[in-house]
């Protein structure tokens, strides 16, 4: 079947404070261009949700749709714009996407219908209250969820329709699919897939380009 990469890139990048985040450059290449370049060779089409009034930079092998007010709405608009059998959703804000991770994710979704990249939590976890450590949280079964995430398109459409009907908001698509009661396979991710969110992440990303682009 056909596979489409859906890239939500319509956020305003408030926490980073450098304007629309997908257009911010590290090592001279925008976060968006890096995500598109990583995915285009591995899928049949790439769709990008952009902030209203913004155009796709020239030369990117992708098709643009206008994003929504939330990430969830942006993904819903991307979903409505493709007829692919499988969709792979990836945040533009995660510019360092190893091809091997995409390969493992696509194998998993072919077997199960729903899969997300995630990293086993490495740090000790505690619950804090009023700035005090009050309780240890065992980390054995805990994963930090990343993107890309991949689904049979019909399944993700159903998950978004139910979320809309119930007024549910989630920070990721696999969360919406899990709410349907559908099992989501966890595919081991990569530390380099961190999301560029705050100014400190930009320094990390800038440093990583020197290895990544070499």
Nearest alpha-carbon partner for 87 in 67, 114, 56: 114
Site residue total, ligand CTP (CB under 6 A): 22
Q: Nearest distance from residue 22's CB to Mg ion, in Å?
A: 12
Distance CA 28, CA 10 (A): 20
Q: Nearest distance from residue 198's CB to Mg ion, in Å?
A: 12
Q: Closer CB to Mg ion, residue 70 or residue 209?
A: 70
Q: What is the C-alpha end-to-end distance of the chain, expressed in Å?
A: 34
State residue 50 phi and psi, 5-degree precision: -115, 155
Helix (H, G, I), strand (E, B) or coil at 98: coil
Residue 175 interacts with ligand CTP (CB under 6 A): yes or no: no
Selected from 11, 95, 148, 189, the binder of ligand CTP by CB under 6 A is 11
Q: Closer CB to ligand CTP, residue 62 or residue 113?
A: 62
Nearest alpha-carbon partner for 76 in 158, 198, 166: 158
Pair type for strands 125-129 and 45-50: unpaired
Here's the x/- map for ligand CTP, 21-60, by CB under 6 A: it reads as xx--------------------------x-----------
Interacting residues toward ligand CTP by CB under 6 A: 8-15, 21-22, 49, 67-71, 74, 91-93, 195, 197
């Amino acid at each position: 079947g056909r596979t489409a990469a859906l890239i939500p890139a319509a956020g305003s990048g408030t926490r980073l404070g450098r304007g629309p985040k997908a257009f911010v450059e590290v090592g001279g290449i925008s976060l968006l261009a890096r995500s598109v370049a990583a995915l285009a060779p591995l899928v049949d089409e790439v769709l990008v949700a952009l902030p209203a009034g913004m155009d796709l930079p020239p030369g990117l092998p992708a098709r643009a749709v206008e994003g929504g007010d939330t990430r969830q709405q942006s993904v819903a608009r991307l979903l409505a714009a493709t007829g692919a059998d499988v969709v792979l959703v990836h945040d533009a804000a995660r510019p360092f996407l190893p091809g091997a991770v995409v390969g493992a994710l696509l194998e998993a979704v072919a077997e199960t219908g729903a899969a997300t990249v995630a990293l086993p939590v490495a740090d000790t976890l505690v619950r804090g209250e009023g700035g005090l450590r009050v309780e240890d949280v065992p980390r054995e079964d805990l994963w930090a969820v990343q993107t890309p995430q991949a689904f049979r398109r019909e399944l993700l459409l159903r998950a978004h329709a139910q979320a809309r009907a119930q007024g549910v908001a989630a920070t990721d698509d696999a969360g919406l699919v899990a709410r349907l009661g559908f099992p989501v396979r966890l595919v081991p991710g990569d530390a380099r897939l961190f999301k560029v969110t705050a100014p400190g992440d930009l320094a990390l990303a800038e440093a990583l380009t020197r290895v990544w682009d070499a």
